[in-house]
Amino acid sequence: MPVYKKISKTGKVTWYAIFYYKDWNGTKKQKKKEGFATRRDALAYERDFLERRAAAPSMTFAALVDIYLADCKHRNRPTTYAPKALMVNKHILPYFKDRPINEITPAMVRNWQNTLLARDEYASAYLRTIHATLAAIFNFAQKYHRLPTNPATMAGPMGKLKPRAISFWTLAQFKQFQQAAHGHEPYYTLFTLLFYTGLRIGEALALTPPDIDRAACTLSVTKTYKRLDKQDVIQPPKTEKSSRVIALPPFLVDILMAYMDKLPGLKPTHRLFEGVTVWSVARALKKYSGDLPRIRVHDLRHSHASLLIEQGFSPLAIRDRLGHEDIQTTLNTYSHLYPHKQEEISARLQALAADEQHGE
């Protein structure tokens, strides 16, 4: 491994590495890297670089993470990539970074899990997400870098899988909230829209005038909004099913039209809730809640679903309105709201049987 000493005019000694490698299509190329404080550092750089190029399972975990995140950056949305990279760099990389990936064992993964668990800082669902991310990194290494086994999978998940608890407001509770928020725009219109459509907050904040069809009483979900690195990001909806057309009750169309008529210089490209942020919406929700049970902004979506369930709509109808990718998501999230319907089913069957007997 050729590395060389370099002495500057001031007498400062540094080292550099110069070597050859083959790129992805087999072309021989030269690589030179300067500025190392020691010969050992220069050698380590060369070894690490060549292992990455060779996709060797002996590469360090830090080298694997660089390759994995670079791949994710091209394939994930910016709003998906940014939190993933933050999670990896904060919770995973510091523990494993200098270890060769083929020397990381399930026992090491368990020790890492115990380190996070001992902090007692994170929700169970978040811990499971962190572990799933580590497992995904090793899956990537198995598929593309000849790692024989996945130590994260063998170690098992971290954090208990608990039934998803959701909070929601009833129609009466929302009307109480609505009275308190009345006249405080844009929040009155936004909250009313969220409660009666079940939109995700990002979908609502991305709306533009052409998305509202007054004549047909419909709303088209074609995009979503997020703030990332102090920039407004508009991108396609969360999933293919999230792109949808939602039927609106006429009273809600009237509220939206009245709101839009008051927006000065509104153009088709303008967002209806320009200047509103997720944080300001959360503050407004808390401000006008009064003595109502505390809920999150996303719980207005749950409130809409619970309202539809109470009105007897099927899980399929709710899935389509909320834009869930599959029916299982709807059932997993809201199945606990259905049990009281069993008594209603029993009563109706009893009534049918009674009518049949009377008919005889």
2 — pLDDT class (breaks 50, 70, 90) = confident
Which of 93-107, 244-258, 335-349 is the least confident region? Answer: 335-349
CATH number of the domain located at residue range(s) 171-334 in this protein: 1.10.443.10
Evaluated on CA atoms 246, 252, 253, 259, the torsion sign reads: negative
Helix (H) or strand (E) holding 19: strand 13-22
- Average pLDDT, whole number, for the chain? 88
Which of 30-34, 247-251, 299-303 is the least confident region? Answer: 30-34
DSSP state of 165: P
Say how far apart CA 240 and CA 188 lie, in whole Å: 29
Q: What is the pLDDT of residue 123?
A: 83
More reliable by pLDDT, 194 or 53: 194
Structural domain spans, the chain: 1-54, 74-162, 171-334
> Using one digit for the tens of pLDDT, what is the confidence trace for 130-175?
999 999 999 999 988 888 899 999 999 987 765 556 789 999 999 9
Say how far apart CA 355 and CA 359 lie, in whole Å: 6
Q: What is the pLDDT of residue 334?
A: 76
Q: Which tokens go with 128? A: 């499971």
C-alpha 284, offset from chain centre: 23
Percent of the chain with pLDDT over 70: 90
Residue 299 has pLDDT above 80, yes or no: yes
More reliable by pLDDT, 10 or 55: 10
Q: Which tokens go with 148? A: 């024989």
Q: What is the pLDDT of residue 336?
A: 67
DSSP string, 60-110: BHHHHHHHHHHHHHHHS-HHHHHHHHHHIIIIIHHHHTTSBGGG--HHHHH
- For 213-229, what is the mean pLDDT? 93
CA atoms within 13 A of residue 150's CA, in its CB half-sphere: 19
Pick the CATH number of 74-162 from 3.30.70.2860, 1.10.150.130, 1.10.3720.10, 1.10.8.640: 1.10.150.130
Residue 205 has pLDDT above 90, yes or no: yes
What separation in angstroms does the CA of 287 have from each of 1, 49, 50, 54, 209?
66, 55, 58, 58, 28
Residue 359 has pLDDT above 80, yes or no: no
Q: What is the pLDDT of residue 298?
A: 94
353 — pLDDT class (breaks 50, 70, 90) = confident
Residue 360 has pLDDT above 80, yes or no: no
Which of 16-25, 48-57, 303-312 is the least confident region? Answer: 48-57
